[in-house]
Structure 1
Amino acid sequence: MAESDDTTPALNPAMPEPGRLDAVAPLIRRRVAGNRGPFTATGTCTYVVGHGRVAVIDPGPDEAAHLDGLLADLSGETVEAILVTHTHKDHSPGARRLKAATGAPILGCGPHRAARPLGEGEIPALDASADREHRPDRELREGESVTGPGWTLTAIETPGHTMNHLAFAFPEADALFSGDHVMAWSTTVVAPPDGQMRAYMESLDKLRGRGEAVYWPGHGGPVREPARFVRGLAGHRRQREAGIRARLAAGDEHVAAIVAAVYQGLDPRLRGAAALSVFAHLEDLVSRRLVDCKGPPLLHSRYFVASARLDTSSR
């Protein structure tokens, strides 16, 4: 799930088409689900790792055409493991349909969980996208691996977009399946209380210390030169934070006013995602005592630069 704003660093604009299984690397095949949209690009990327006895990563939404097509593509092969990066409905529900058809275990991320409890009167804006039915047969933690003939997939904990988000390192291909944490086509939605900006930035820093040559994301084309790209993503977030702080200094106090100023020309369909992203930055800034607000930090709270905060008791 992505913000899809036009300031995103993009090193590889190639967008895969849905409905067919394509070999994208010697040990990696990709089939894109038919859930095209402003937050999903051309659809969710389902990956098949290996040949003969394979692993499937992110079977996608509970979409019969996609899963039936995938099973037809893999006729004569055995699905050894089904791995899931995170519990959004465009990634994980298809795992249950695929397990029912193949008997393969569901591995990877644990059940859906939020970054924090709901605040008073707060409604989780992305609740409809959360797959709360997901229960893996085995939850993978940092550094745990699944193996098959010619392939190894190792879990890398990358919370932020969701708090249970995993990436999977694939050393035989010098690759990383990055889920929705890093994508070439767009920045990632980070929306409290489902996600958390601090965790997202720490996970970016974690990936910057790795050396894979290519990332295969949950939507869009591959991320080439990922070390440089991840640096660009972190810089983009820092610039966004600086823009938010500048708007606060200029007197904007509400998320909606900040969004209007810093996301000029944004597709109206993406305003909600932009508001959640701004809110995630504000929540992080409050936790770092760089910004204050009247009451708890919530989507509709009033925010102030901490060093310049006035008495707001009468506001």
Structure 2
Amino acid sequence: MSNLSDLSAAAWPAHRSNSAHQRPTVHPDRLPPHSLSKPRGVKAPIAPEEPALPRKPWQRQARQAARLDNGPMPRTTQQLHPHREPVATRPAATVLLLRDAPASPGSPGGLEVLMTRRSATASFAPNAYVFPGGGIDALDAAPATHAAADRRPTQDDLHLTQAIAAIRESFEELGVLLARHGDGPRKGQWADTADIAALDRHQPFVAQCQARGLRPAADAVYLLAHWTADRDLARRFEVPFLVARMPEGQEPVADEAEQFEPVWVRPADALARHDAGQFFMIFPTIRTLRRLAAFARTQEVFDALADEQPLWVSCPRAGILAGKEARYMEDEMAFGELAMVCPDGQIVHPLDWQAERPVPLLRNVQRLTAPNPGVMTGPGTNSYLVGDPATGFIAIDPGPADPAHLDTLWRAAGGDIRMIVCTHSHPDHSPGAAPLQAMCVQAGRPRPPVLGLPSAPTARAASEFTPDRSLQNDELLVLAGQAPDGPVTHTLQVIHTPGHAANHLCLLLLEDGLLFSGDHILNGSTTVIDPPDGNMADYLDSLDRLDAACAQHGVEFILPAHGYVLGGPLLGARQSIAKLKAHRLAREAKVMAAMQAQPDGTLEDWVRHAYDDVPPRMWPVAQRSLLAHVERIRTLAP
């Protein structure tokens, strides 16, 4: 392994309470839309049975992220936790009002966003800084309301409804009026302070606009992101995070009931103040500001949103890290593991890396990480046990010959290890096979065969390996037994995957759609391809072979030899493989460009350009993969 790779508080309760009278506790990593509990008599939530609008790709992604469109999953009988149906989501909308501030002696200027502080007595997230927003009302989606607003030709009905709701909420909470005059001498001009003063924040919004000749400027509101509250919450909302420019000449005035102290702040400054404990925010707000901080000016944000697609779609998941809840988005390393182990959002799975005890991932899959963390191994080498007491176990990658690690692995299997499989023969994967086998024999158990592929002549001395039996491509390794509720089987299909090593193989657990990827696919880094035993052409071909196997068997999750489980509804197994292949080919393009720029250069010359995004201390290792790319480039050259 090598590390070369490269909500607003709009009302998502952060608690689970069995008592209607229990005051909720707040956790900064929970997700709530803040204004959905407002006692406004003119509002009526959209009925759940309202006809659904046609879905765009990002809307399908949002449903997949929230697991409303269920994909392949491990057998329910193998899940660790009983199924719990998440509550249905309700629609809401949040708007980020943006402006460009001039540079000053105390500030570099640039993009700022308007935020407000929630009431200190709010039931959820008191004193949290948020963006304005709240529930979508039936009136927001009414045809008459749509006709009263300005819209872009590319803005569909759903986006229009969301924009109108956001405009209404920004007025009710902050007195900001995103509306223009529709006719007369002021046609096209933004609403001014006199217009704002003429409207009542507690009366029907669009009707008041019409009476004053104003049209809500939905055409000026764009979709930035889409958040869905996690599955463990008792009240759940789907919340588009929208953006709009702050109209010139208007000043925010908080309603002093739910929102207080409007403040303009640079995203980076808000994050720094939050880290210092001076500006409390919740998870989706923090993550949105992190991404917004990448934009220097307001126009850059709107340029990125021209295609009417959100920059990200997320339904985060949470686990336990260092004894506390920790929440993750789909592109973060722990997300796939949480999706597999706790599909319904239970916040119970430990994410701390440790080598003292096995981590159950399913009833029939355990992971034990070897105590060999480092630059090349990440948190350590993952050994896996597949099986159960009724079938016995297959040990995958027993790891280094560490007595404590092997003893823990043996005890986790109850000593009933039927087979030992090495995905390849590198020294952090296979040396433990023989002593683990001996432990079984010494305990009076049958001698489990050590299976895999023999090392090639190109292997380094430390990677020489001869299994008891060589595994054939597509061979099936079957565990079968009689469980209390009936017969059970666990079948591993062997897939030859040379590339990282000439004798590398992967294993596919057919009944549960899981891929054990060894070092071919890692989480958090890309594997080193070290010629001559490593070969980049073989590696890429093997990725294609794995992709085909995942497509055939509906594989959603990848269990790597280093790092957490990969997968989930938005970045499943096939998407992870495609992303990895694209990364490799992009790296190869940089290698080719370096070679063309310096035809007489050396590996030391080329690595500076092709791996300029990698710390120089890692360049000696990177040169091995660079050489593999060079060999492939020269082989493909006409």
Q: TM-score per shorter chain, which class?
A: 0.7 to 0.9
2:584 equivalent in structure 1: 237
**Once the two structures are superposed, what CA deviation does each residue of 1:72-97 show, in whole Å capped at 9, x if it has no partner?**
3333x411111110010100010001
Q: State the secondary structure of the residue aligned to 2:559.
A: strand
Shift of 1:255: 0.8
1:217 corresponds, among 548, 560, 564, to: 560
Asked if 1:146 is matched to 2:489, the reply is no
Shift of 1:20: 1.4
Contact 1:57 1:82 in 2 (8 A): yes
Equivalences for residues 166-245 of structure 1 within 5 A: 166-211=505-550, 212-224=555-567, 225-245=572-592
Return the letter of the residue paired with 1:283.
Answer: E
Superposition deviation, residue 268 in structure 1: 4.4
Q: 2:502 aligns with which of 147, 163, 171?
A: 163
**What's the C-alpha RMSD, in Å, of the aligned pairs?**
1.8
Larger radius of gyration: 2
Tell me the distance in 2 between the aligned counterparts of 1:269 and 1:165: 27
191-200 or 103-112: bigger deviation: 103-112
Moved more, 278-287 or 142-151: 142-151
Following superposition, the deviation at residue 139 of structure 1 comes to 0.9
Of 361, 375, 389, 1:24 maps to 361
| CA shift for structure 1 position 107 | 3.9
In structure 2, the residue matched to 1:81 is 419
Please point out which of 607, 611, 618 is paired with 1:263. Answer: 611
1:17 positional shift? 3.0
Deviations 1:18-77, CA, capped at 9 Å, x for gaps: 2210101231000000000111111110000111111110000111121122223333x4
The match for 1:305 is none
Corresponding residue to 1:280 among 616, 624, 628: 628
Cα deviations by residue, 1:218-249 (Å, 9 ceiling, x for unpaired): 11111100100110111111111111111122
Q: What is the aligned partner in structure 2 of residue 301 from structure 1? A: none
1:12, distance to aligned residue in structure 2 (A): 4.4
Local SS of the residue matching 1:194: coil
In the TM superposition, what is the alpha-carbon distance from 1:114 to its structure 2 partner?
Answer: 4.8
What letter corresponds to residue 21 of structure 1 in structure 2? Answer: P
Measure, in 2, the Cα distance between the counterparts of 1:245 and 1:220.
Answer: 30
Letter matched to residue 148 of structure 1 = L
* Equivalent residue letter for 2:605: A
Q: CA deviation at 1:106?
A: 3.3
Query: How many angstroms apart in 1 are the aligned matches of 2:331 and 2:519?
Result: 16
Task: Give the SS at the match of 1:153.
Answer: strand
**Does the 8 Å CA contact 2:437/2:450 hold for their aligned counterparts?**
no
- Structure 1 distance, partners of 2:549, 2:332, is 20
- Using the alignment, how far apart are the partners of 2:420 and 2:564 within structure 1? 21
Residues 1:67 and 2:406 are matched in the alignment = yes
Change (3 A) 1:114 1:284: farther
Q: Is this contact kept in 2: 1:108–1:155, CA < 8 A?
A: no
SS class of match (2:463): coil
Contact 2:456 2:503 (C-alpha < 8 Å) held by counterparts: yes
- Is the Cα contact below 8 Å between 2:379 and 2:563 reproduced in 1? yes
What whole-Å deviation, never above 9, does each CA across 1:252-287 have from its counterpart, x for those lacking one? 521111111222253344222200011000011111
Read off the aligned partner of 1:214 and give its amino acid letter: F
SS at match of 2:373: coil
Corresponding position of 1:110: 453
Q: Percent identity?
A: 35
CA 1:179–1:66: 2 relative to 1, 3 Å: same
> Which amino acid is the alignment partner of residue 146 of structure 1?
L
**TM-score, L = length of structure 1:** 0.82
Cα distance, 1:105 vs structure 2: 2.8
Is 1:98 the counterpart of 2:430 in the alignment?
no
Residue matched to 1:33: 370
1:98–1:269 CA distance, 2 compared to 1 (3 A): farther
The structure, 1 or 2, with the larger RCO (C-alpha pairs under 8 Å, 6+ apart) is 1
Task: Tell whether 2:474 aligns with 1:136.
Answer: no
Q: Is the 1:12–1:223 contact (alpha carbons within 8 Å) kept by the matching residues of 2? A: no
Contact persistence 2:556–2:573 (CA under 8 A): yes
Partner Cα distance (2:584, 2:5) in 1: 14
1:35-50 alignment, distance < 5 Å = 35-50=372-387
In structure 2, relative to structure 1, the CA distance for the partners of 1:172 and 1:12 (3 Å cut) is farther
Q: Which runs of 4+ in 1 moved over 3 A?
A: none
Q: Is the 8 A contact 1:114 1:163 kept in 2?
A: no
Q: Scaled by the length of structure 2, what TM-score is found?
A: 0.41
Q: Kindly provide the amino acid, as one letter, of the partner of residue 587 in structure 2.
A: R
Structure-2 residue corresponding to 1:58: 397
Please report how far the alpha carbon of residue 6 of structure 1 lies from its aligned counterpart in structure 2 after TM superposition.
4.1
Q: Which amino acid aligns with 1:27?
A: N
Note closer, same or farther for the CA distance 1:188–1:28 as it changes in structure 2 (3 Å cut): same
CA distance in 2, matches of 1:229, 1:279: 24
Residues 288 and 114 of structure 1, relative CA distance in 2, 3 Å threshold: farther
CA displacement 1:159-194 (0-9 Å, x = unmatched): 000011010110122101110001121111111101
Structure 2: gaps of 5 or more residues:
7-329, 335-350, 442-446, 481-488
Output the amino acid matched with 2:503.
N
Q: Which moved more, 1:228-237 or 1:12-21?
A: 12-21
Counterpart residue identity of residue 525, structure 2:
S
Q: What CA distance in whole angstroms lies between the structure 2 residues aligned with 1:26 and 1:201?
A: 33
